[in-house]
Amino acid sequence: MNVEQCGIILNVSRFDACVSFYRTLFGLRELFSKVDGDFRLTCLEFGSAYLMIETGGVASAEEKSVAQSPTILRFNVADIHEAFEEVRAQDGNARLIENDWGIIVRCTDPDGNPISIRESAGFMPS
């Protein structure tokens, strides 16, 4: 199989808020949008892949459990403390978590989907 591109489809309930969240906080560039009746999608550049946000999901007021959302979007950044400050401006419930393997920022999008942000340094084993 010759895979030419890959992506993630994220079904959300709070469509406009989620698109804005990913575009604003992470600076993901919009590739295209489509509307077909009540169905909407926006495709965002996600590194060399894409993040396609589509309607049809179920929102949660709190972070979704693994049973509700078995996938966590991960963003690697150059400076975890700078990222934490930026995330806290968007999500006051964001938290900095120290693990033996590194520090992450844990937050949620407007639908309650979990997001993990990690410092790039030390991510790949030497």
What is the pLDDT at residue 126? Answer: 65
Segment 111-121, tens digit of pLDDT: 999 999 998 88
E strand or H helix at 83, and its extent?
A: helix 80-90
- Look up residue 41 and give its two tokens: 């999608």
CA 10 – CA 89 distance, rounded (Å)? 23
Q: Which two tokens stand for residue 5?
A: 């591109």
State pLDDT tens for residues 53-98. 999 999 999 999 999 999 999 999 999 999 999 999 988 899 999 9
Phi and psi for 50 in degrees, rounded to 5?
-140, 155
CATH of 7-59+69-119, picked from 3.40.710.10, 3.10.180.10, 3.20.20.190, 3.40.50.300, is 3.10.180.10
Domain edges within the chain: 7-59+69-119
Give the mean model confidence (pLDDT) for residues 31-42: 98
Residue 10: CB atoms within 10 Å = 20
Q: What is the mean pLDDT of residues 103-111?
A: 96
